[in-house]
Structure 1
Amino acid sequence: MMRLLLSIIVALLAVQGIAANSVVDSLKAKHPNSDGVYIENNTSILLSVHKKKGLIITSNFYEHRMFLNDQARLYSKESVRYGYHLDIDNVVAYSVVPGEKKPQRFNVTEFDTTDEYSSSIFYNDGKNLEFHFNGLQKGASSYLSYSELEKEEHFFGSCYMGSYLPIEKGVLRVEFPKHLKLNYQEVNFEGYNITFEKTENKKNYVYQWIFKDIPKYKYVNRAVALPYVFPVVLFQIAEYQLGDSTVKVIPDLDGLYKWYYTSIKNSKEAKDDSLRTFVEEIIKDDSTELDKVRSVFNWVQNNIEYVAIEYGSGGIIPREAGLVYQRRYGDCKDMSCLIHKMLNSVDIESNMTWVGTRRLPYKYSEIPSPLIDNHMICSYETDDSTYFLDATDKFVPFGAPTAMIQTKEALVEKGPSNYKIKKIPSMPASFSGKKDSCILRLEDKEIKGKCICEFKGYTAGSIRHYLDSKQGEDREKYIRNLVRKGNNKFYLDKYELTNEMAKDKPLLVKYEFTLKDYAQQVDNEVYLNLNISKYLKSGKFDKEQFIYDFNGEYAFYEIEINTLKLDDGMTVDYLPPNGMQSKNDYSYSIQYSSSLGEVSVRNEVKIDYLLFPTTRFDEWNKVVKSINKDYSESLLLKRKTQ
């Protein structure tokens, strides 16, 4: 009897192992390019109101991942974030790993608390609870559950239905009292398998979203970020009853603004007469108010170091201007407040302004939520223009917004109860770019060039940021890569920089180069391609890899002018035809010309868009194919025979 029982157990375990392998194989066939999947990804949120504690927001998270290959070990390290307004509790984590006879469970028992690190933030009070899952391999699963307490009701909340692994099934459940008014917006739902149901019990409403078969987010450089792609529910608590009182939270945009204004009220209204004397000295040579604003902005840009500090209430409340002035550093809120107070000290009106970077696709006019923005600037208005003053980028010219906030809606404060929504413009392609003009001479098969390369706008700014932090060999290597052209036998012979840190002027690189083994010579005939840089040669979108819309940093131009000085006795036997294509938001042209003693080409590309949708990738790829055909054309030169 015992032998029979053991045989049955062994058989059941074998069947269980076969079943597990079958599940892995099935999921692998469904997701061939994924290391694993979320079998479940659930969030359950409870909003409750207590007489003494007020509104309590508790979220419970549960996730089950199954891994489909041996890359599973790369997912062993995990963390849960918490901080100033967020507490966590009841963390349970374990892995289940296939065994020879039966699966093995490994409970996570060691947890480490570390400071949260971000390359863009010098210091914040965020913490990570870090831990490791043991034994992850093909066929293994990890399980994680924990609860989260949100202590700031205004920051509730967003729930994304997507991740770095595909999700087989997930549930988002929100339960709240009937006297609480909860607004929400469903964003990016189109094309996804999501169902919604609303139920109720005696005291509460229950909203539930069930989502299935959500693909993984695939990071691609210069593609739109996750908030543009994945479905998300954005919540705003409008109001709730606390005893006999109605507590307003964010009922609408007016409510959001009133709460925002409380965070700047003290800093904005603090008196600091010491700034006036200093500012008067800065602007003493300025004749117009706009010139004075420029001088103040430039001073903050040049003298206040941008250091992102998000600690406690300092994550949302700017520090007083006098303190920032004394310390000579601050975050975006601090720098905006300092510009505002400096201008105010000499009776120039300006306004503190909230804005989201282009990583966030949301608008104040559509969704009144703190999730809309992650940045603060200062605004100055004239009769016909608004200047968006963002000193966090030390190389952006006065009058231009920083590249990261172009096209975004800005919330401009106008006192305790008044505000404006203004759209920040995008700078045209003519504002930023590169113009490389070279005089060339042919020496056998190699080219010698003397060039002036001019960089403007955001293009110049990005180069200046790099040069500001590099010296010696690193700097020379960077310049060489910046002007490199032709083939891998390009040699930068010498270079000289002009206007290196003068942000209001073009950055000039004067350089000389040698390009070996470039020309092709057969008897007295020389074949030479004057399109040396071929900027868009590899510009096609790989639609299998680039599955999201393209998100450019800024519009720009790229101009290459190459003029070849002809030796005595050399003539042009074939001059390639000109090439050109033009769309509403991008274009290219290649124009050849020949005169006595020289031949030249002007190659110009203009990119005048920021977002470029996947629906236009085929159109773009056809244009790149056309320009590559034009790039391939070569001059035919002939030397006089002796």
Structure 2
Amino acid sequence: MLFLLVFGFAATSAFAQVAKYGKVNEAELKMTRFAQDTSAEAIVLSDYGYTRFSFNHEVQVITERHIRIKILKKSGYDWATIDVPFYVKGGDRERVSSIKGVTYNLENGQVQKSKLESGAVFEEQHSENWFSKKFTMPNVKEGSVIDVAYTITSDFVYNLREWEFQTTIPTLWSEYHAEIPSYYDYKFLMQGYHPLYSNDKNIAASAKPELVNNAYVWIMKDVPALKEEKYITTIKDYQSRIEFELQQIVYPGQAARQMSGNWDDVTSDLMMSERFGAQLNRSGFFKSEVAYTMNQHKTPLQLAQALYDQVKSRMNWNGKYTYLATTTTRKAYETRTGNVADINLLLTAMLQEAGLEASPVLVSTRENGRPPKQSPLVNKFNYVVCHVEIDGVSYLLDATEPLMPFGMLPVRALNGEGYLIKKKEHRWVALKPVVYSKFITTDLALKANGDMDGQATESAGGYYAFSVRKSLSDNGEEKFSESLKRGANYKVGKPMIENKDKLTEALKIKYSISASGNGQDNHIIYLSPLVGHAKTDNPFKVSERVYPVDFGTPVDETIITNYTIPTGYVIDEAPKNVTVSLPNNGGKFTYLVQQEGNTLQVLSRININKPVFYAQEYAYLKEFYNQIIAKHAEQIVLKKGTAN
């Protein structure tokens, strides 16, 4: 065991370099665990990429890649299945060629090689434009080292592939070279938290005398695994990688050709697009419906709410994300179905027809990644919502969710800021969430034998109300009733639900609750005061965190339990009242226990006032939850007779 630990710590220095294809060393084969991360199921020993431009018959981009992976556990066998995506559009395509691979195993002190057969490589189609070459390396075992190399030749000379330095397993060495002709001016977009080990630029030789090649090298070493954590958007937001944006092309003797454009160009192009701006101008087919609705409502806000409800009730979302319509607003209206753009561009057009100041807002969803504020890259968006301003107040609307109240966006769309587009204006707008609000009051009569019975009332607002209504709609009241159970000790009656269809009002849930005691009078009664609502698990377990914590929404959760205690019983022990606050008004926890006569009240209130906490605030947030859990675990002790 000692040998393995020493060997593991030596791994970085032994392997931290570009591997040569077909040349494995004994240390790589003998390695059985990775000491820096013993949970690692596999590690990338070396990942090397080299991109160059070819001017033979036509301009092409050629990328060669060689990756070496060590398999440490059976759970890491999936890393022996390689999937190389490639893109095809019209007459242009990417071609994957020169695929080769070898699996190395150490058996009885001898290195055994198992080569990838050409017949083991097959092609899959994932969408209209995306395909992949896929293969699984042969004879993979715990301890195997796999070598894989391939070449991608691309006709898309204006789009360099990104290079990922970081994956979900540790990477000892990742090195990427790019020789870019001086004709092409690229902007390099670095992302992630791991620093570059090396970043060099030189002048490289060129086959064309008039052409200068700029040779770039980026290297990272000892890159930790990219691990999912609770409360993040998408893990790709935090991945260490480099992307390339073509700014301009300058051919000899020609004027510079701008490629990246700016936000003015993006706005103009979108407003002229048949699949975006043109959809807002096709209003003839719903004029009479909008006119009728206008006559029924006196105020602009009431009118907007009515049109929003009409679109929600009429349209059925097909679940597809995009900011571009796939059909005309008329056809979407007639078929009553469409993607998010079909539906929300229709909503925007109807609000505009009603004389309201409505505009589309481009969004990158939480799972898609951060919006591209630093560069005008419209393809980084994958969603669109509607913005309407009424009497100086802004509202954001998404008509894809029938149960979503006016002025609320689905959590999937809450990703910082969105890009608002008008004919002659564009700006970023905050995608502000409403509060996740839960207020639970439980009134219980306690008997000397420990029996309890009473009533509970839950008031749900904001995103909590939406989640409850969605559960009721998807699963029915019977299954929802099961979710109200507070553990094996409590029985819950059939709930009575109020305001289920009144989306702008708080949802009320009332039900009976009871628990059985031990059947005999007790001198001492122990109470878990929050009746099944105590928090018992801290979602923040690691000592340090690199990524921000993103709850998505603010939180306001209040739990009040009122006990009527038996005559002759008094509090012997009780949790002390406490207030815990996060810095910069980030949040607050209040816990109160108070008695008046034979009534005992316990109050717990948790406020999270902002949805995002940065890494430097993590320690405070973790301790905040530690104190909540500790306080919620404390019991109340009732004693018959006089208190101590």
| TM bracket (short chain) | 0.7 to 0.9
Moved more, 200-209 or 628-637: 628-637
In the other structure, the counterpart of 1:229 is 238
Give per-residue Cα distances to partners, 1:139-159, cap 9 Å, x unaligned.
223344444466667765543
In the other structure, the counterpart of 2:13 is none
In the other structure, the counterpart of 1:212 is 221
C-alpha contact 1:61 1:147 (8 A) present in aligned 2: yes
C-alpha contact 1:356 1:408 (8 A) present in aligned 2: no
User: CA distance change for structure 1 residues 272 and 194 in 2, over 3 Å: closer, same or farther?
Assistant: same
Q: Distance in 2 between matches of 1:173 and 1:228?
A: 23
In the other structure, the counterpart of 1:10 is none
Matching of residue 565 in structure 1 with residue 587 in structure 2: no
Q: Distance in 1 between matches of 2:176 and 2:324?
A: 28
In the other structure, the counterpart of 2:503 is 503
Percent of matched pairs sharing the same residue: 15
User: CA distance change for structure 1 residues 427 and 154 in 2, over 3 Å: closer, same or farther?
Assistant: farther
Q: Distance in 1 between matches of 2:307 and 2:157?
A: 37
Give per-residue Cα distances to partners, 1:131-184, cap 9 Å, x unaligned.
322221122233444444666677655433211121122222333331222122
Give per-residue Cα distances to partners, 1:441-484, cap 9 Å, x unaligned.
2242232231111111111212323332224xxx6444433x34
In the other structure, the counterpart of 2:146 is 142
> Which residue identity does 1:137 align to in structure 2?
K
C-alpha contact 1:124 1:309 (8 A) present in aligned 2: no
User: CA distance change for structure 1 residues 26 and 73 in 2, over 3 Å: closer, same or farther?
Assistant: closer
User: CA distance change for structure 1 residues 136 and 190 in 2, over 3 Å: closer, same or farther?
Assistant: closer
In the other structure, the counterpart of 2:279 is 268
Tell me the secondary structure at the aligned position of residue 354 of structure 1. Answer: strand
C-alpha contact 1:154 1:250 (8 A) present in aligned 2: no
Deviation at 1:635, TM superposition (A): 3.4
User: CA distance change for structure 1 residues 257 and 184 in 2, over 3 Å: closer, same or farther?
Assistant: farther
User: CA distance change for structure 1 residues 210 and 634 in 2, over 3 Å: closer, same or farther?
Assistant: closer
1:230-629 → structure 2 map (5 Å cutoff): 230-241=239-250, 244=254, 246-263=256-273, 264=275, 267-268=278-279, 271-309=282-320, 316-359=324-367, 362-370=370-378, 372-382=380-390, 384-406=392-414, 408-415=416-423, 418-427=424-433, 431-443=435-447, 444-471=449-476, 476-481=478-483, 483-485=484-486, 487-517=487-517, 523-539=522-538, 541-543=540-542, 548-572=547-571, 576-583=575-582, 584-629=585-630
Give per-residue Cα distances to partners, 1:367-397, cap 9 Å, x unaligned.
3323642221222234533322222333332
Q: Distance in 1 between matches of 2:239 and 2:425?
A: 31
Q: Distance in 2 between matches of 1:457 and 1:402?
A: 11
Moved more, 200-209 or 213-222: 200-209
C-alpha contact 1:91 1:144 (8 A) present in aligned 2: no
> Which residue identity does 1:439 align to in structure 2?
D
Aligned residues between the structures: 605
In the other structure, the counterpart of 1:163 is 167
Deviation at 1:546, TM superposition (A): 6.1
User: CA distance change for structure 1 residues 128 and 535 in 2, over 3 Å: closer, same or farther?
Assistant: farther
C-alpha contact 1:407 1:423 (8 A) present in aligned 2: no
Q: Distance in 1 between matches of 2:347 and 2:615?
A: 41
C-alpha contact 1:97 1:137 (8 A) present in aligned 2: no
> Which residue identity does 1:454 align to in structure 2?
S
Q: Distance in 2 between matches of 1:453 and 1:582?
A: 25
Q: Distance in 2 between matches of 1:149 and 1:387?
A: 47
Q: Distance in 2 between matches of 1:155 and 1:318?
A: 25
Moved more, 494-503 or 298-307: 494-503
In the other structure, the counterpart of 1:35 is 41
Q: Distance in 2 between matches of 1:380 and 1:344?
A: 9
In the other structure, the counterpart of 2:104 is 97
The normalised TM-score by structure 1 is 0.83
C-alpha contact 1:44 1:173 (8 A) present in aligned 2: yes
User: CA distance change for structure 1 residues 470 and 555 in 2, over 3 Å: closer, same or farther?
Assistant: same
User: CA distance change for structure 1 residues 419 and 18 in 2, over 3 Å: closer, same or farther?
Assistant: closer
Deviation at 1:587, TM superposition (A): 1.1
Q: Distance in 1 between matches of 2:310 and 2:421?
A: 23
Deviation at 1:610, TM superposition (A): 2.1
In the other structure, the counterpart of 1:13 is none
C-alpha contact 2:323 2:381 (8 A) present in aligned 1: no
Give per-residue Cα distances to partners, 1:240-291, cap 9 Å, x unaligned.
1468465432143334444444544563365341111122334431112232
In the other structure, the counterpart of 2:638 is 637
Q: Distance in 1 between matches of 2:28 and 2:536?
A: 46
C-alpha contact 1:433 1:558 (8 A) present in aligned 2: yes
Task: Name which of 170, 175, 178 aligns with 2:182.
Answer: 178
Q: Distance in 2 between matches of 1:201 and 1:248?
A: 26
Tell me the secondary structure at the aligned position of residue 408 of structure 2. Answer: coil
Deviation at 1:239, TM superposition (A): 2.0
Tell me the secondary structure at the aligned position of residue 409 of structure 2. Answer: coil
C-alpha contact 1:95 1:135 (8 A) present in aligned 2: no
Give per-residue Cα distances to partners, 1:563-616, cap 9 Å, x unaligned.
112344545555543221122111111122323342211211111232233433
Q: Distance in 1 between matches of 2:474 and 2:372?
A: 37
Tell me the secondary structure at the aligned position of residue 291 of structure 1. Answer: helix
In the other structure, the counterpart of 1:5 is none
User: CA distance change for structure 1 residues 269 and 477 in 2, over 3 Å: closer, same or farther?
Assistant: closer
Moved more, 83-92 or 146-155: 146-155
Q: Distance in 2 between matches of 1:630 and 1:541?
A: 17
User: CA distance change for structure 1 residues 292 and 549 in 2, over 3 Å: closer, same or farther?
Assistant: same
User: CA distance change for structure 1 residues 35 and 456 in 2, over 3 Å: closer, same or farther?
Assistant: same
Gaps of at least 5 residues in structure 1 are 1-15, 117-122
Moved more, 434-443 or 540-549: 540-549
In the other structure, the counterpart of 2:3 is none
RMSD between superposed Cα atoms in Å: 3.5
Moved more, 338-347 or 532-541: 532-541
User: CA distance change for structure 1 residues 383 and 497 in 2, over 3 Å: closer, same or farther?
Assistant: closer
The normalised TM-score by structure 2 is 0.83
> Which residue identity does 1:398 align to in structure 2?
F
Q: Distance in 2 between matches of 1:610 and 1:154?
A: 38
In the other structure, the counterpart of 1:62 is 66
Deviation at 1:225, TM superposition (A): 3.0
C-alpha contact 2:198 2:217 (8 A) present in aligned 1: no
C-alpha contact 2:166 2:223 (8 A) present in aligned 1: yes
